[in-house]
Amino acid sequence: MSTLAPEPVPATEAPHPLDPLTVTELAAAVTVLKADTRITEDARFWGVALDEDHARRAVPGDPRRARAVVICPSAHIAYEVALELGDKPQSTAWRELDVRSPGCSSEEARQAAAMCRADPRFREALALRGIHDVSLVMVDPESIGGFEPPEYPGRRLTWGSVWHRTSEDDNGYARPVQGVVPIIDMESMEILHIEDHGIVPLSEESGTFGAGVVPERTGLKPLEVVQPDGPSFTVTGQRLDWQGWSVRVGFSHREGLVLHDLTFDAAGKGPRQVIRRAAVNEMYVPYFDTASTQYRKNFFDWGEYGAGPLTNSLALGCDCLGVIQYFDAAVLGGDGVPRLIPNAVCVHEEDDGILWKHHDGRTGRTEVRRSRRLIISAFATVANYDYGFYWSLYQDGSVMLEIKMTGILSATGVTEDEETPYARRVAPNVAVTNHQHFFAVRLDMAVDGTDNRLVEVTAEPEPDPDLNPYGNAARTVLRPILNEAEGARSTDPSRALHWRVESTEARNRMGEPTAYRVHLENTAVLPVREDSVCARRAPFVARQLWATAYDPDRRFVAGEYPNQAEPGADGVHKWQEENRSLDGTDLVLWATIGSHHFPRPEEWPVMPVAKARLRLEPDGFFDRNPALDVPAPVSCHTPKQPSSATPTDHCCG
């Protein structure tokens, strides 16, 4: 295993406009903001993001632009600030925000937890439960959207989930402190009041895991990934080139890993556009329990916390195998201090089994090719849960997003005789509530250019008995989605429903529009009442696909600022009402991957990876299989042999 250094951009060449913001640029942005008299001494920051729309229109020499979000607690206000970076950084526009709108930074969360541990009322509640060393108490400030106490109008609030460790190395998430709920003012950093719903015994079973704690199994032999000639991809700055694919690796405060400008060049005929931008745009996690420490749980993990600062620094040999290319990422802390996340994004190749194969039973000849994929990945940790985002590019022109869910389940404390209709026991005095994970994936499509349309495809039985005398005829029915009012779509496996993104300009050799097909493998829907907070806060999860015309100001599926927003006041479901044309336009898809989580004891105390996937496949984009030219593996021979012959060691398949 080894790592590569990217080929540097020549010193005379400016960074690409879509490159992620640097530590230097983030520091310059903070300097500009702090110099303005509107910014108070106690200012907190919720990220600085590249103005990508401007970046796409910029010409060489143009200064880069960004947007910053600043919270001024003592002034009870927040700002969204447009910035111009470059030789003379400056602010160019200011917009006042409701102080409750921005999300919570990790620095704010740590400050709130420390404040709780110092509060005498909180200490007293812990002492009643036999907890006296408050240094071992964990408090996670949780978003409170939809459940704000009416006695605290207009205040920026969270509520605290409380956990207890028996030692510094203990897994605190295995010992929930049930019944104690501090309501926290995040501006004044004080506990407004503490709900106490009664004492539940703490679990006495250790939930600690890891090296040196659990005896390791034996008999596992080394498995090494060896690439003696190096990888097949090349890296120039933030650009990757591999097997016809070209893509730029980006990064943002809100979404973390971002891919820009995906193009494919088949057989050296020139690059063709596929996707302008792809990212996991939002993650919504609702819980389905009425318990005192559970009923409020419904989180916009990106819109209320942000994927960028929660991104892990990846380790060679653990997170990625083979010859690795890493990309670092710069993020801004809530305290206004920029920091670099080393190895935030990993790039590597993997063998992916059989790409295509046929054995001729008459001649005994076998042709087989092995598939290889390029994986661009990042991991983010949101308190107890860990999420991996793996974008894979394939030699046949396909793209797959695989989301890996692992980490520690969010548990609740229960008594031994307590009924748990909405949760499942995983350990003594510990249960885990049924919940879901929704991942909204934003795909700014560009299939052979930005003039695209969406077409829904289904399999329908032929209704005309004269045309269907045997009853087995089924048509492929194409339904163009021509405007935004029709752009909210749902899956239907019974009709093999899927979608095509077609070019309205380009045609293949059969005269059909070139296109890419969209598949969703995980399509859970909310099992709650329509008047519930969950359903009202996240209307986008009601459909598996939304289609809109591109708008630079409509960047996030649940709206720009979902934290403590009026449920359903903004988001893709509202944008549909404008009913703009989707025929031959710059088309943006918002795909919703939904995974229902029925907890299992086998997922405790740490959860084996569960996966959710989205796949895009060329559908008439090429005239024939674009992977015909993939060479046979050097270890694979295809001798002629009788079909009844005994297979040999050297024949792949």
At 644 the pLDDT is 47
Torsion of CA 309, 298, 278, 90, to 10 degrees: -50
Residue of 156, 131, 133, 132 whose CA lies nearest to 145: 156
- What pLDDT, in 10s, does the model give residues 288-340? 999 999 999 999 999 999 999 999 999 888 999 999 999 999 999 999 999 99
Active site residue 295: no
**What is the Cα–Cα distance from 639 to 183, expressed in whole angstroms?**
73
CATH number of the domain at 2-97, please? Answer: 3.10.450.40
pLDDT of 635 higher than 90:
no
- Set 51, 140, 289, 301: catalytic member: 301
- What pLDDT, in 10s, does the model give residues 97-118? 999 999 999 999 999 999 999 9
- Set 79, 287, 326, 385: catalytic member: 385
- What pLDDT, in 10s, does the model give residues 176-196? 999 999 999 999 999 999 999
At 643 the pLDDT is 47
Q: Taken in order 598, 602, 608, 611, is the CA torsion positive or negative?
A: negative
CATH class of the domain whose range is 234-287+298-409+434-618: mainly beta
Active site residue 385: yes
pLDDT of 496 higher than 50:
yes
At 44 the pLDDT is 98
Instruction: Give 1's pLDDT tier (boundaries 50, 70, 90).
Output: low
Counting Cβ atoms within 10 Å, is residue 225 exposed (0-12), middle (13-18) or buried (19+)? middle
Query: b/e string for 594-631 if b means 16 or more Cβ within 10 A?
Result: bbbbebeeebbbbbeeeebbbbbbbbbbbeeebbeebe
Half-sphere exposure of 466 (CA within 13 A, CB side): 0
Tokens representing residue 86 in the block: 């470059």
**What is the Cα–Cα distance from 297 to 516, expressed in whole angstroms?**
37
- What pLDDT, in 10s, does the model give residues 32-80? 999 999 999 999 999 999 999 999 999 878 999 999 999 999 999 999 9
Tokens representing residue 613 in the block: 């996937």
Check for a shared fold between 106-196 and 234-287+298-409+434-618: no
Confirm if 155 and 563 have CB atoms less than 8 A apart. no
pLDDT of 646 higher than 80:
no
- What pLDDT, in 10s, does the model give residues 457-481? 999 999 999 999 999 999 999 999 9
- Region of 140 (left: φ > 0; alpha: ψ -120 to 50; beta: rest) is beta
CATH number of the domain at 106-196, please? Answer: 3.10.450.40
**In Å, how far from its chain's centre is CA 192?**
34
Domain residue spans of the chain:
2-97, 106-196, 234-287+298-409+434-618
Instruction: Give 278's pLDDT tier (boundaries 50, 70, 90).
Output: very high
Residues in the chain: 653
At 634 the pLDDT is 82
- What pLDDT, in 10s, does the model give residues 510-553? 999 999 999 999 999 999 999 999 999 999 999 999 999 999 99
Instruction: Give 648's pLDDT tier (boundaries 50, 70, 90).
Output: very low
Residue of 52, 84, 87, 83 whose CA lies nearest to 70: 83
Instruction: Give 578's pLDDT tier (boundaries 50, 70, 90).
Output: very high
